[in-house]
Amino acid sequence: MRLLLRSGIGGFSLTKDFTGHNTIPPYAVLSQTCGSDTEEATLEDLTGDTGKYKPGYKMIHFCGE
């Protein structure tokens, strides 16, 4: 399992792969859509720092705050 990690400057990356006996840090599951498929933030939008104006990106960023 990998988790989305928010950096101190507001960007996103993925954590290492948690397997076996790794301690998994506290995390939240977001399960809501923010509109059409073109408005949703993709993994590439989050890790590539693109799509900042998509409603889905803004929601994930807000929850990270």
Residues 6+ apart with CB under 8 A from 1: 17, 18, 19, 24
Residues 6+ apart with CB under 8 A from 10: 61, 64
SS3 (DSSP) at 6: strand
pLDDT of residue 65: 77
What residues are paired with 5 via a beta bridge? Answer: 13
pLDDT of residue 8: 79
Q: In this structure, are residues 12 and 4 in contact, taking their beta carbons and an 8 Å threshold?
A: yes
- pLDDT < 50 regions, the chain: none
Residue 15 burial (10 A CB sphere; 0-12, 13-18, 19+): middle
Q: Structure pTM? A: 0.63
